[in-house]
Amino acid sequence: MPRSRGTLAGAIGWSAIDTWGSALFQIVVLTVLARLLEPRAFGLVAMAGVYIAFVQVFVEQGLGAALVQRRELERAHLDSAFWIAILTSIVLLTISMMVAPWVATLFGEPHLASLVRWLSLGLLASAMNGTQRAILQRELAFRQLAIRSLIAAVIGGVAGITAALLGLGVWSLVIQSLSTVIIGTVVLWRVSHWRPGFRISTTHLRDLWGFSVSVLGINLLTFVNRRSDDLIIGAVLGPVALGYYSVAYGLLRKITNLLVGVTTKVAFPAFARVQDDPARMRRGFYTATRYTSLIAFPAFFGILLVAPELIRGVYGSKWVPSIPVMQILALIGIIHSVFYFNGTVILSAGKPQWRLGLAAVNAVTNVVAFAIAVRWGIVAVAAAYVVRGYVVSPLALWLIHRLIRIEVRVYLRQYIVPLIGSAAMVVTVLLLRHLVGESLKPTAALGLYAAAGGAMYTLAIHLRAPDTWRDLLRTARSGVPTTTGPATTNPAG
Would you list the domain boundaries of the chain? 8-414
Any idea what the Cα angle at residue 262 is, between residues 286 and 5, rounded to 5°?
100
> What does the alpha-carbon distance between residue 239 and residue 230 come to, in Å, rounded to a whole number?
10
C-alpha pair distances (Å), 414 with each of 7, 123, 152, 474: 27, 41, 37, 18
Average pLDDT, the chain: 82
> What does the alpha-carbon distance between residue 416 and residue 464 come to, in Å, rounded to a whole number?
10
Q: Which residues contact 162 (CB under 8 A, 6 or more apart)?
A: none
Does the predicted model carry a pTM greater than 0.95?
no
**DSSP 8-class letter at 319:** G
pLDDT of residue 490: 32
pLDDT of residue 4: 46
pLDDT of residue 473: 60
Any idea what the Cα angle at residue 22 is, between residues 145 and 349, rounded to 5°?
55
Torsion sign across C-alpha atoms 176, 215, 225, 52: positive
C-alpha pair distances (Å), 255 with each of 20, 61, 333, 428: 9, 27, 9, 22
- Local mean pLDDT, 10-residue blocks, the chain (493 residues): 49 63 82 92 93 89 75 79 90 95 90 94 89 78 76 92 95 95 89 83 76 80 87 93 92 77 56 63 78 87 92 89 94 83 74 82 92 95 94 87 82 88 94 87 91 92 75 53 34 29
pLDDT in tens, 163-191: 999 999 999 999 999 999 999 888 888 88
- Closest Cα to residue 247, out of 107, 54, 22, 49? 49
From first CA to last CA, the distance across the chain in angstroms is: 24
DSSP characters for 449-490? HHHHHHHHHHHHHHHH-TTHHHHHHHHHHHTS--SS------
